[in-house]
Structure 1
């Protein structure tokens, strides 16, 4: 096996160009004269990361159960008070473990998107297995929501295999929210070809896991006080507002749903709401708007 420093130009260039950012889809304006768009999302992983890794002990599973049992009702109540629609990306096994939760998302007007079958590491899968799990996830969430087929996907752990984008295209998704090539929505390219797939980019800065992650046997401990994370996210939002762009946030019920951290989200939503005209939208709504209105500035 050759080392990367031994690769010829066609090899390293093809790796870089396999999935790439295409057209900037930042729209000239957001609906209703809003100065900024805000897309709040939750990855409802619950027990699935533990199950994916073969961990079946009650301790680690109980932390995921907290997300479904306590955090989700708390989050839904907060979103209702602020009148904020959100996108919930749900591993299908989470949905099967907690079917009433998926129904509650839809009943409250939120979006349900695909987030893998069991939060699998898709970059370790072959094409056939990855496609089958993604299709099975689509079918399961469509059934659990009472007939609404998801149009968006967030890959587990924001990971891509060589087959992922092709599968996303084959299965008819409108958008992906797993990559980080821009602050604003953009069109995905596959080997230089425009795909028509909207990317709603994520970023670790705007994710709760890096600040509050906990791994009992790996030495990973929460290291950032919630009020410091609030300051970071306020600055991210204020920057998006100043640029007339998109503020996208990724949260996990089992992380953010705790008492001290739900207060963080409450304070952030208050700051956003009080800043002036804002368009709160699901990721699906963002993708539809930028597809219709997006242009290179």
Structure 2
């Protein structure tokens, strides 16, 4: 089966034939601008730590039109077991975090969202139903994103100030939507380890990018294809070592350590110790500022060193 032809190839021909104007225009459409790493973190901490949880719950099978009770039950696990365990660990260690919710997941589990917010954690936008925004008809992504923000505000009583796109897909329209919404930050792009300002066709936007990375994501180490002969799986101890190494690097460079986890992934009995052991490792290192994504973005925007 041949690979689908991209819109860019349909419009401009094969990439090897593109003019510099074409490929440079693609590169410059959304670009990393000035580094927003501050000269110092609050309380003169050496490193900022921003833990985040993408609470997808049932939306991934729903996004694919999958009605399987089995696969929907895997998402429900995130609500029944994952989030309670995560809240317990964070509460024991007094660590704030950011929870990104698809609006449909928040609508199915509103009491969970309110409880997470009451714990002092941030609630951020994470699509409507975990849709693949790159495949949506014109205008639909904008409508869904605005609807998602309104629904989260209705549930938790506060309009979100940041977003993370589903699957970290960033369409050609996403940045314009973020700008129209007046959001403080995005957390979907990967041009740096530390916060940076997004450029829109070379124009500074004032939007803070808090970059995630697949290396710092639990799902890639634990997901597997059920009906494939290949079923990759990484031992929790190995994942903990990777996360520790990523934090140690951020600490050495006086930067930001941002980690993405999923309640239905990290919340299992053999995996939740990763979160607790990592927090203990971070605290033992010392000189740390634990913060929500909003807190990090505001501090960086207000305290970044001059370009």
TM-score range, shorter chain: over 0.9
1:257/1:191 Cα in 2 relative to 1: closer, same or farther (>3 Å)? Answer: same
Q: CA deviation at 1:172?
A: 1.0
Residue 121 of structure 1 corresponds to which residue in structure 2?
Answer: 132
Q: CA deviation at 1:218?
A: 4.5
* SS of equivalent to 1:195: strand
Q: Contact 1:24–1:186 at 8 Å: present in 2 too?
A: yes
Q: 1:153 aligned to 135, 158, 163, which one?
A: 163
| Distance across 2 between alignment mates of 1:220 and 1:167 | 39
Unaligned runs of 5+ in 1: none
Q: 1:263 aligned to 262, 266, 273, which one?
A: 273
Question: TM-score, normalization: structure 2?
Answer: 0.94
Task: State the Cα deviation string for residues 110-168 of structure 1 (Å, max 9, x = none).
Answer: 000000000000011234100000000000000000x2000000000000111000010
Q: Contact 1:24–1:296 at 8 Å: present in 2 too?
A: no
Q: 1:200 aligned to 186, 210, 217, which one?
A: 210
Unaligned runs of 5+ in 2: 1-9
Residue 81 of structure 1 corresponds to which residue in structure 2?
Answer: 92
| Distance across 2 between alignment mates of 1:58 and 1:166 | 37
Tell me how many residue pairs correspond in the alignment: 296
1:107/1:67 Cα in 2 relative to 1: closer, same or farther (>3 Å)? Answer: same
Q: Contact 2:99–2:121 at 8 Å: present in 1 too?
A: yes
* Superposition pairs of residues 1-297 of structure 1, within 5 angstroms: 1=10, 2-145=13-156, 147-218=157-228, 221-295=231-305
| Distance across 2 between alignment mates of 1:99 and 1:222 | 34
Q: Contact 1:26–1:296 at 8 Å: present in 2 too?
A: no
* SS of equivalent to 1:84: coil
Question: TM-score, normalization: structure 1?
Answer: 0.98
| Distance across 2 between alignment mates of 1:253 and 1:108 | 16
